[in-house]
């Protein structure tokens, strides 16, 4: 058994676990963070996307121990029903959510993109979402959601600067 110490959604946790277990299993089964979904378990679908030190990764392909001493953000750390993240609001408003299974992964990929690029082009959004599959929406409304969220966040920021 190994000891894993990490920060998850801003909270420090310590776990004892087998070194081969994947991050997604530890998040879902040990920590009860079931917002992170399992689609393919082979890094193809992106449903299990989380942020590891701010970077989007497929948590099915990451041994949990890689998070040792690092910070993990899951969908539970992004927003709540009462206080959604602008990306979540924009996805809902643009119709970027249908069955919803892929949505947490898409939201995390989008949040990671907007951290490094505040005004992405449609092409840049598509590249950032390349590793996320959606079988319902046809992607257009998801991409629109990210663009809308970027505009919204920039507008907030400008209000902040003025205010």
Partner 1 sequence: MIIEASKCQYCFPVGVEEAYRLKQQYGEQARFIAGGTDLLLLMERENIHPHLLIDLTRIPALHRLEVSNGRVLIGSAVTYSRLLSFEPLLSGVSFLAKAIRTIGGVQIRNIATLAGNLINASPAGDTLPPLYCLEAEIGIDGPLGLRCLPIREFVRGVRKTALAPSELVTQVYFDLPGPGWYGTFEKLGLRRAMAIAVASVSLMLKVEDRKITQARIALGAVAPTVIRVPEAESCLSMQSLDDQTIDKAAHLSAATCTPIDDVRASSRYRKEAVRGLVRRGLRVLRNQINAQE
Chain residues binding partner 1 by CB under 8 A are 1-2, 18-20, 22, 41-44, 46, 49, 52, 55-58, 60-63, 65-66, 68, 109, 112, 127-132
Instruction: Name the minimum Å distance from CB 83 to partner 1.
Output: 26
Residue whose pair of structure tokens reads 């206080």 in the numeric block: 83
Question: CA nearest 72: which of 93, 91, 50?
Answer: 50
Nearer to partner 1, 53 or 157 (CB): 53
| Cβ pair 10, 77 in contact under 8 A | yes
Q: Which residue has the tokens 């299974």?
A: 101
Instruction: Using the minimum distance from each CB to partner 1, give the nearer residue, 68 or 140.
Output: 68
Phi, psi of 17 (to 5 degrees): -155, 165
Residue placing its CB nearer to partner 1 in the complex, 41 or 98: 41
Q: How far is the CB of 118 from partner 1 (least distance, A)?
A: 17
Q: Which is nearer to partner 1, 21 or 93 (CB)?
A: 21
Euclidean distance between CA atoms 19 and 31, whole angstroms = 16
- In three-state secondary structure terms, 123 is helix
Closest CB 97 distance from partner 1, rounded Å: 20
């Amino acid at each position: 058994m190994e000891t894993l110490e990490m920060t998850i959604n801003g909270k420090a946790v310590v776990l004892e676990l087998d070194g081969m277990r994947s991050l997604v299993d530890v998040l879902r089964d040990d920590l009860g963070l079931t917002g992170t979904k399992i689609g393919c378990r082979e890094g193809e679908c992106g449903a299990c996307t989380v942020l590891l030190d701010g970077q989007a990764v497929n948590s099915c392909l990451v041994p949990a121990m890689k998070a040792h001493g690092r910070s993990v953000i899951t969908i539970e750390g992004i927003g709540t029903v009462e206080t959604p993240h602008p990306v979540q609001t924009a996805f809902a408003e643009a119709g970027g959510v249908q069955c919803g299974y892929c949505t947490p992964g898409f939201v995390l990929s989008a949040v990671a993109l907007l951290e490094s690029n505040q005004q992405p082009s449609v092409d840049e959004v598509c590249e950032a979402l390349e590793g996320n599959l959606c079988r319902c929406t046809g992607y257009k409304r998801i991409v629109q959601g990210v663009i809308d969220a970027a505009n919204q966040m920039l507008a907030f920021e400008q209000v902040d600067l003025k205010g």
